[in-house]
Amino acid sequence: MFRLTSFLRRAHGVDRAAFVAGWAGELSAAIMANDQFRRSARSYVLNKPLDHIPDEFMWIAGDDFDGVAEIWFDTLPAAVVTANAISADPAIQKILPGVIDVAGSATWIGHVVDDFDKPGIKVKRIVAGQPRPDLQLEVAQDYWIHEHRDFFSGFEKFMAYMLRYRAVYGVPTPGLRILTNRFMAMCADVGFASLQDLSDAYREPKHAAVMMTDIVKFGAPFGAITFTAGEVEVKHGAPLG
């Protein structure tokens, strides 16, 4: 399946609680009322922010974005056409500036490669990045999907914390005409039972000592974005988030 992923920042002057209320309420209602969305979207998911991130977890959880939206589709054309229809919808255009900082947000389309999913997820970390500048896009993505997965899965103590791993590789879409368009080459959804488990996983000594030695083989040292969700709400369709 294909996924339209949107890393969202709240509009200037809007606090986080008001953002979440407007995003989950009036804005989502307008999106779900769009005819193209109703025809083509298979799932619409809101990844909502944690109520509070303790200082000791800020290094891994981050606080740069206020939410991540996912809209899932069966086909790439449906994803592009629906995203453009939503962007051009007058009802949505009227609401959007009061909820979302368009210039500070990022949206792109990717193809989903599910790996594993276990029960008990309470915290979902979403991280997206770019390929190493000297590598062809598809070469970097292929290494990330296969070799990098094999690399980190060899660390049993690190993997013991992880309840989900999903890879979403970005698909260049020149026909995507939306204000928040910002292509990201690789995006991973990783599930954990708690913030403590998330932190402990990435501080597991054997994995932490060598993690970057593999990431530099495919990933750029700049341009990554992250969000850590404390609640996932499925607004429409299948529970794919």
Q: pLDDT (tens digit, 9 = 90+) per residue, 113-127?
A: 999 999 999 999 999
Which DSSP state fits 118?
-
First to last CA, the chain: 12
Across 211-218, average pLDDT: 96
Instruction: Judge whether 39 lies within some domain.
Output: yes
Residue 237 lies in a domain: no
CB 164 within 8 A of CB 190: yes
Q: Which residue has the tokens 């008990």?
A: 120
pLDDT digits (tens, 9 = 90+) for 161-198: 999 999 999 999 999 999 999 999 999 999 999 999 99
Mean pLDDT of 127-155: 97
Where do the H-state alpha helices sit in 123-184? 137-143, 149-153, 156-161
Mean pLDDT of all residues in 134-158: 97
Residue range 91-105: mean pLDDT, rounded: 97
Query: Is residue 227 a contact partner of residue 62, using CB atoms and an 8 Å limit?
Result: yes
Helices 205-215 & 195-202, crossing angle to 10 degrees?
70
Please report the pLDDT score of residue 102 as a whole number: 96
Asked if 220 and 129 count as a contact pair (C-beta separation under 8 A), the reply is yes
- Which pTM does this prediction carry? 0.96
Of the pLDDT bands very low, low, confident and very high (cuts 50, 70, 90), residue 199 is very high
pLDDT at 235: 97
Q: Is residue 239 part of a domain?
A: no
60 occurs within a structural domain: yes
Q: Is 240 among the domain residues?
A: no
Phi, psi for residue 240 in degrees, rounded to 5? -95, -10
The tally of domains found in the chain comes to 1
CATH number at residue 146: 3.30.70.100
Cα separation, 127 vs 233, in Å, equals 19
- 239 class by beta-carbon count within 10 Å (0-12 exposed, 13-18 middle, 19+ buried): exposed
Give yes or no for residue 86 having a pLDDT over 90: yes
In a domain, 194, yes or no: yes
- Using the predicted structure, report yes or no on whether residue 241 has a pLDDT greater than 90: no
Say whether pLDDT at 64 is over 90: yes
Whether 238 maps to a domain, the answer reads no
Task: Determine, yes or no, domain membership for 211.
Answer: yes
The boundaries of the domain holding residue 130 are 2-232
